């Protein structure tokens, strides 16, 4: 299995959701990121409403759910590495 790529945004840059999503789309369009076969996105509104998306040419319910779990593990691993410092 290929390694997952975690995008790093400067602390202030990633806080703006629209700008962050546009940067990801721009990076995909210019080839900075490899083409997306399956993507997932979860968002929580200020009122607490959760919206989740699965997208891409190979995305189905199972692929999207699996990718959410892989992404969760990747984030946990990154947090654990940062706490070791």
At 79, the pLDDT band (50, 70, 90 cuts) reads: confident
Alpha-carbon gap, residue 74 to 56, rounded angstroms: 20
What does the domain layout of the chain look like in residue ranges? Answer: 1-35, 37-85
At 78, the pLDDT band (50, 70, 90 cuts) reads: confident
| 21 sits in which H/E element | helix 17-29
Return all residues near 76 (Cβ < 8 A) that are at least 6 apart. none
pLDDT in tens, 2-45: 666 666 655 556 678 899 899 999 999 999 999 999 999 999 99
Is the pLDDT reported for residue 74 higher than 70? yes
b/e sequence 21-58, b meaning 16+ C-beta within 10 Å:
eebbeeeeeeeeeeeeeebbeeeeeeeeeeeeebeeee
Question: What pTM did the predictor assign?
Answer: 0.69
Closest CA to 64 of 45, 37, 35, 28: 37
Structure tokens at 48: 């607490």
């Amino acid at each position: 299995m290929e390694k997952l790529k975690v995008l790093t945004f400067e602390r202030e840059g990633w806080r703006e959701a629209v700008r962050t999503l546009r940067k990801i789309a721009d990076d995909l369009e210019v080839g900075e990121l490899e083409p997306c076969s399956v993507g997932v996105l979860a968002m929580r509104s200020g009122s607490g409403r959760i919206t989740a998306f699965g997208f891409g040419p190979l995305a189905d319910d199972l692929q999207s759910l699996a990718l959410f779990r892989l992404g969760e593990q990747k984030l946990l691993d990154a947090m654990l590495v940062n706490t070791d410092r």
